[in-house]
Amino acid sequence: MRIPPKPPPAPRMPSAGATLVVTVLTLASASALQPQAPLPPSARPHGAVASNAPGRLQTGLAREPAQGVAFVRDFNAKLDLPPARLKEKLAMMRESPSAMFRAMPALFHSDLRGPYAQAAKLVDRPAPDILVMGDAHLGNLGTFRGPEGKAVWGLNDFDQAGTASPEADLTRLATSAVLTARGAGLSATEQAEAVRTLAEAYVETLELLADGDANPGAFLTRKESSGPVKDLISDSRDTSAKDLLAKYVKFDGSKGPRFLTTDTLRPLEATRKAAVQAALAEYATSLKGTEGVAVPLNVLDLAGRLDAGGSSYGLERDCALVGAKEPNAPPVLLELKELLAPSVGSPPSPANGADVVEAQRELAGDVNPLTGAVSMGGRAFLVREVEPEKGKLDDGALSKKKALHSTVEQAGVVLARAHGHTREQATRLESWLGGDTQEATKRLTAFARAYADQAEADWKALKAAR
Percent of the chain with pLDDT over 70: 87
CA nearest 13: which of 106, 110, 108, 79?
79
CA 445 to CA 441: how far, in whole Å? 6
Half-sphere exposure of residue 314: CA atoms within 13 angstroms, side-chain side: 23
pLDDT at 3: 45
Number of helices (H) and strands (E), helices first, in the chain? 13, 13
CA 365 to CA 382: how far, in whole Å? 18
Does the structure show a pLDDT above 90 at 55? no
How many other CB atoms are there within 10 angstroms of residue 332's CB atom? Answer: 24
For 314-349, the pLDDT digits (tens) are: 899 999 999 999 988 999 999 999 999 999 987 778
Does the structure show a pLDDT above 60 at 293? yes
CA nearest 405: which of 96, 152, 192, 183?
192
pLDDT at 312: 82
Query: What SS3 class is residue 293?
Result: strand
The conformation of residue 382, written as its DSSP 8-state character, comes to: E
CA 362 to CA 155: how far, in whole Å? 12
Between 82-91, 115-124, 425-434, the lowest mean confidence (pLDDT) is in 82-91
CA nearest 310: which of 109, 162, 157, 449?
157
Query: Sign (positive/negative) of CA torsion 36, 39, 43, 49?
Result: positive
Q: Is 434 exposed, middle or buried (0-12, 13-18, 19+ CB in 10 A)?
A: middle
Query: Average of pLDDT values for 85-113?
Result: 95
pLDDT at 252: 80
Q: Which residues of 398-422 are buried (b: 16+ CB within 10 A; e: fewer)?
A: beebebbbbbbbbbbbbbbbbbbbe
Q: Are 288 and 299 in contact (CB under 8 A)?
A: no
Higher pLDDT, 54 or 114: 114
Between 337-351, 433-447, 448-462, the lowest mean confidence (pLDDT) is in 337-351
Band (366; pLDDT cuts 50, 70, 90) = confident
Half-sphere exposure of residue 439: CA atoms within 13 angstroms, side-chain side: 11
How many other CB atoms are there within 10 angstroms of residue 55's CB atom? Answer: 9
State the chain's mean pLDDT as an integer: 87
Does the structure show a pLDDT above 80 at 284? yes
pLDDT at 232: 97
Does the structure show a pLDDT above 90 at 7? no
How many other CB atoms are there within 10 angstroms of residue 66's CB atom? Answer: 18
For 181-193, the pLDDT digits (tens) are: 999 999 999 999 9
The conformation of residue 398, written as its DSSP 8-state character, comes to: G
φ, ψ (nearest 5 deg) of residue 187: -75, 170
Alpha-carbon radius of gyration of the chain: 22
Beta bridge partners of 383: 336, 372
Half-sphere exposure of residue 347: CA atoms within 13 angstroms, side-chain side: 9
CA nearest 182: which of 439, 434, 425, 451?
451
Does the structure show a pLDDT above 90 at 282? yes
Q: Are 383 and 372 in contact (CB under 8 A)?
A: yes
Does the structure show a pLDDT above 70 at 308? yes
pLDDT at 213: 97
Beta bridge partners of 282: none
One-letter amino acid of 452: A
pLDDT at 291: 86
Most distant CA pair in the chain, distance: 71
Query: Average of pLDDT values for 301-324?
Result: 89
DSSP element (H, E) containing 321: strand 317-322
- The reported pTM is 0.88
pLDDT at 80: 86
pLDDT at 327: 86
Query: Average of pLDDT values for 276-301?
Result: 92
pLDDT at 35: 32
Does the structure show a pLDDT above 60 at 53? no
Helix runs in 105-187, H state only: 105-113, 167-183
Helix runs in 420-436, H state only: 423-433
Between 51-65, 153-167, 195-209, the lowest mean confidence (pLDDT) is in 51-65
Query: Average of pLDDT values for 293-313?
Result: 88
Band (354; pLDDT cuts 50, 70, 90) = very high
Cβ-proximal residues to 206 (8 Å cutoff; 6+ apart), any chain = 416, 419, 420, 426, 429, 430, 433
Q: Are 377 and 165 in contact (CB under 8 A)?
A: no
For 119-154, the pLDDT digits (tens) are: 999 999 999 999 999 999 999 999 999 998 999 999
Q: Are 376 and 279 in contact (CB under 8 A)?
A: yes
Band (49; pLDDT cuts 50, 70, 90) = low
Percent of the chain with pLDDT over 90: 75
